[in-house]
Structure 1
C-alpha cells in the first residue's frame, strides 16, 4: 500500500530526479556573493596582493639573505703528530680579517671575511662548508665546540641617543663546526668592535657601554651596562657600588674584560672614580634574571690604563703602569699579591689596547703577550715565572712543546721552564705585526693580521 502526500508537502524519502533539464518555467539559481564577476576579480586581486606581500617579506627576510652550504660528509678531526716535527713550512693561506685569532674547532679550521664564514679542511685548506649573509661580520670565534658568528646591523631605526644608532653587532648565530649546519641564533645588543670572551661555559660579548653573556643555547644569562630598554625605561643594569644618589649619574665606560669559573671581570672607567680605574667582578648568571647582575667585588685599582691579564679559578691578574706592577685580586675584590714588572711603557697603556689581552694556556701555565714579549704565569697563583723577549705573540702548546712566534721564525721552548730548545725559521714576508697561534692535529696556524697561514 503506497502512502500519499498532499499538495505542498515534500516527500523526503523520494529519490531525486536525475538529468532533469531546467525548463523555461523553473526559477534560476540564486546568485551568491562569490558568483558575481566583480567579486571573483576582487578575490583574485586579494590573492595576488598576498602573494606579492609574501614575496617582498621573503626577499627582505634573513632566510633569503642567508646562504648555507653544509658539508656532504662531516669533517673528521686530524690526528696529532706522533713525533715533534723537524721543521715547519707554509702549507696554505687564506684571507680571514674577521677572526682575531685562529678559529680552531676540533674539526674544521674557520676563516671569515666580508659576510662569509668558511669551514676548511685543516690539512689542505679546502672549503668543506660555507655560511654567508648579506651583512658584514663583526667577529667570529669558537665556543662549545661550535662556531660563533656575529654580524653587523646598521641601527638606522634607533634614536640618536642609543649607543647602537651608529650600528651594532646584533645578529648572532652558532654553527656546527664539522658540517656548518646552523644551530641557534639570537638578536643581541653587542656593540661595534665587540670581542668574544669564552670561559669554557659562557661567552661574553665586550663593549664600551654594555657586556652581554650567553650560555651555549645563546640564551642571555646576564647583561651588564647602560643600554636603552623600551621595556624597562630607565632601568640600569650596572654595578650599584659605582652609582651615586645625586642627580648626576656616575658615567662608566668599560675597558679590558676577562672571564673564568662562572665570573666576568671588567675594568671600569667611571666619572666619580677620580685618579683610578675600577675592577668589578660579577657572576656570569644574573641574580634573579638576566637584567640583575650579581656583583661579587668592586675595587679601585690605584691607577689608570689597567688591563685584565688573566683569570684563573677565583683569582684575577691586573697589569698597571706608574709604577709597573701585576696585581692579583680575588673575585671579591681583595688584593692578595703584587709583582713588579719591567716592560716598555707602551705595553702597559691599556686604554689604547683592545678589550681582550692576548694570552694562551697550557697545563698549569698562562702565557701573556704584553706587546713586546711573552710572560709565563703560574696558572694557580698567577705568579710571573719567566719571559721571552722580542716575542710577537703568546704562542701555543704543540706536541708537548711551547711555540712562540718571534721575528723570522718560531722559538721552541720547554713549556714549564721556558728553556729554548730551538727555532723554526719562518718567512712572513713583510709582515711584522702581532701573531696569534693555535694548532689542529699536525697543523700549526698563524693569524697574521687579516691572513690565516697554515704551517706543517
Structure 2
C-alpha cells in the first residue's frame, strides 16, 4: 500500500506596515486541518492517558449504589459472625495440661503379677484408647479426657459440640470425629504429647463411623462409604457412595453396602454386598491412588460366601470369618477367588467380629468369639492358638504401633474370670494337625502349663455353589516357630 500523502501546511508571513497593518493578504486562507491519522512524523501522537499526577474523576455514586453496598457488607459481616459464634470450631475447647505429657516405651517383659490401680467409666467397648503417655476415656457427653496412666488423674480434656463418633491414635496424633452439619463430618487431630492442635477436616460422612488405623493412615468406615486419611487428615481415597460426584464413572460400582474393612499402608480390603452379585464381594484397592476420587482396584470379585467379616490383612493376604451355608470358618484369602480354610468352627460363634472383639499387632491378630480367644499369624496366614475361657481378645505386650520403637512382642495379656493371663505359645506340628502348647502366668505369678483344645488341620474345601469360580488351596498348618 502506498504511503498516505501529507498535505503541507500553508505558511503566511506578514510584515506590519507603517499604519500597523500587515503587508500581504489581509485575509489569508487558513491551513487545511491535519487528520489525526496523518500527523507529521516529527509530531508525537496524542496519548489519551492522563498526565502524571493528574487525578481521574471517578464515576458518580448514586444513592442506590451506596445502599446496595451497605446491605452486602452487613450480610457478610453477620454471616461471618454467626459462623464464628455458632460453628463447631467455636464450640470446642481444648483444656491443656500444665506440661508436655510423658512418652512411655513398650514393656520389656511380661508382668509377674497384676494389680488394679484405678478404673473409670468410658463410652464404648473394646481395647482402651491410648496414646504414648495417656489413657483416654470418653465421657457420656463425648468429652475426651487424657488421664495419667498410673493414677487415672485427669491431665487434659477436649470438648466438641456434637455427638462423639469415633477415635483412633496413630502417627503421634489423636484423631476424633464428631457429629456435625453432615453426619460424622467434624474431625479433629490433637498432639497429646505437646498439647497442640494438629489438623482439622470437615466433609460429609454418614452418621455411623468406625475408625481403624496403621501408623500412617486411618480408615473411616460406614455401610455407605469409606475414606482413608493421612496423618494430616488429607483424604487419599473415597470409596462407595459419593454425595456430590463431580464426574460420572469415578466409582467402580454403586448401590453397595460395605460390611467390613481393613488396611495397610499399601492397600485396603473391603467386604461388600452389591446389586446383582450372588455372594459377598471382596475388593482390594490401593490405599493412596493417583486420584483420591477414583479407586485403583487391585482385585475384586464375589467370594461364594453368604457372609464375611474382614478380620485383618497384610499386603499378601486377607484374613476373614465367613459363613457358607451352615459352615463357619476363618479363611485366608490371597485373592477374592483364592482362599484356604484356617480355622473351621463347629457352629455360629457367640460374638461376631467387631472392634470390641478383635485386637492384635502387625504380625498377629486375635479374635474373641464369646467363649475363647483365637490367635492367627498374619504374616503366614495361619492359625496359632486358642485361649479357652478368655473374656476378650487381649493386648499385645512389649509392642508399639510406632515402627521407630523396637519391641519384643513375645507375650499377650488376655482377660479372664478372676484376673488376666499372660500367654506365650509354641506351635508344635504333628501328623494329624498341630497342637498349640501354651505357657501362661497367672495373676499370682505361679507358672502352670495347659494345653487348650486343638482343632485338627482343616481339609481343603469350598462351597458347592462357588466351586467353579473359587480355587481353594490346602489348609494352612502352623510352621515350627515361637510367637
TM-score exceeds 0.5: yes
SS at match of 1:290: coil
Cα distance in 2, alignment partners of residues 52 and 272 from structure 1: 51
SS at match of 1:325: strand
Cα distance in 2, alignment partners of residues 117 and 238 from structure 1: 38
Cα distance in 1, alignment partners of residues 224 and 392 from structure 2: 28
Flag the 1:213–1:64 CA change in 2: closer, same or farther, 3 A: same
Deviates more, 1:252-261 or 1:390-399: 390-399
Deviates more, 1:132-141 or 1:70-79: 70-79
Q: Which of 124, 147, 153 is residue 151 of structure 2 equivalent to?
A: 124
SS at match of 1:303: coil
Cα distance in 1, alignment partners of residues 317 and 86 from structure 2: 48
Q: Which of 193, 201, 220 is residue 205 of structure 1 equivalent to?
A: 220
1:296-324 deviation line (CA, Å, top 9, x unaligned): 11122212121112212321112212322
Q: Which of 87, 90, 103 is residue 64 of structure 1 equivalent to?
A: 90
Flag the 1:230–1:262 CA change in 2: closer, same or farther, 3 A: closer
1:418-444 deviation line (CA, Å, top 9, x unaligned): 61323228xxxxxxxxxxxxxxxxxxx
Task: Look up the match of 2:424.
Answer: 414
SS at match of 1:414: strand
Q: Matches of residues 110-121 of structure 1 in structure 2 within 5 Å?
A: 110-113=136-139, 114-121=141-148
1:166-200 deviation line (CA, Å, top 9, x unaligned): xx111111100214311001113332231112123
Q: Which of 386, 390, 412 is residue 402 of structure 1 equivalent to?
A: 412
SS at match of 2:215: coil
Cα distance in 2, alignment partners of residues 403 and 57 from structure 1: 48
Q: Which of 232, 237, 242 is residue 251 of structure 2 equivalent to?
A: 237
Flag the 1:85–1:273 CA change in 2: closer, same or farther, 3 A: same
Whether the aligned pair in 1 keeps the contact of 2:319 and 2:378 (CA below 8 Å) is no
Q: Matches of residues 254-403 of structure 1 in structure 2 within 5 Å?
A: 254-274=258-278, 276-286=279-289, 288-321=290-323, 322-330=326-334, 332-347=335-350, 354=354, 358-361=358-361, 364-398=363-397, 400-403=410-413
Cα distance in 2, alignment partners of residues 224 and 92 from structure 1: 42
1:318-344 deviation line (CA, Å, top 9, x unaligned): 2212322232222x5351532341244
SS at match of 2:103: coil
Whether the aligned pair in 2 keeps the contact of 1:199 and 1:262 (CA below 8 Å) is no
Q: Matches of residues 206-225 of structure 1 in structure 2 within 5 Å?
A: 206-225=221-240
Q: CA deviation at 1:386?
A: 1.6
SS at match of 1:267: strand
Flag the 1:67–1:338 CA change in 2: closer, same or farther, 3 A: same
Q: CA deviation at 1:68?
A: 1.5
TM-score, structure 1 as length reference: 0.70
Flag the 1:301–1:83 CA change in 2: closer, same or farther, 3 A: closer
Flag the 1:90–1:49 CA change in 2: closer, same or farther, 3 A: same
Give the number of aligned pairs.
358
Unaligned runs of 5+ in 2: 1-68, 399-409, 428-436, 445-483
After superposition, the CA RMSD in angstroms is 3.3
Task: Look up the match of 1:151.
Answer: 178
Cα distance in 1, alignment partners of residues 339 and 108 from structure 2: 42
SS at match of 2:204: coil
Unaligned runs of 5+ in 1: 1-42, 156-167, 240-249, 426-456
Cα distance in 1, alignment partners of residues 319 and 109 from structure 2: 35
Whether the aligned pair in 2 keeps the contact of 1:256 and 1:355 (CA below 8 Å) is no
Cα distance in 2, alignment partners of residues 220 and 52 from structure 1: 32
Cα distance in 1, alignment partners of residues 92 and 294 from structure 2: 35
Cα distance in 1, alignment partners of residues 418 and 381 from structure 2: 30
Cα distance in 1, alignment partners of residues 220 and 357 from structure 2: 14
Q: CA deviation at 1:80?
A: 5.8
Whether the aligned pair in 2 keeps the contact of 1:257 and 1:355 (CA below 8 Å) is no
Q: Which of 94, 101, 107 is residue 133 of structure 2 equivalent to?
A: 107
Cα distance in 2, alignment partners of residues 412 and 171 from structure 1: 39
Q: CA deviation at 1:378?
A: 1.9
1:273-301 deviation line (CA, Å, top 9, x unaligned): 12x11111111112x31111011111222
Flag the 1:415–1:111 CA change in 2: closer, same or farther, 3 A: farther
Task: Look up the match of 2:50.
Answer: none
Cα distance in 2, alignment partners of residues 403 and 190 from structure 1: 36
Task: Look up the match of 1:77.
Answer: 103
Cα distance in 2, alignment partners of residues 268 and 83 from structure 1: 41
TM-score, structure 2 as length reference: 0.66
Cα distance in 1, alignment partners of residues 309 and 417 from structure 2: 25
Q: Which of 115, 135, 138 is residue 89 of structure 1 equivalent to?
A: 115
Whether the aligned pair in 1 keeps the contact of 2:271 and 2:310 (CA below 8 Å) is yes
SS at match of 2:345: coil
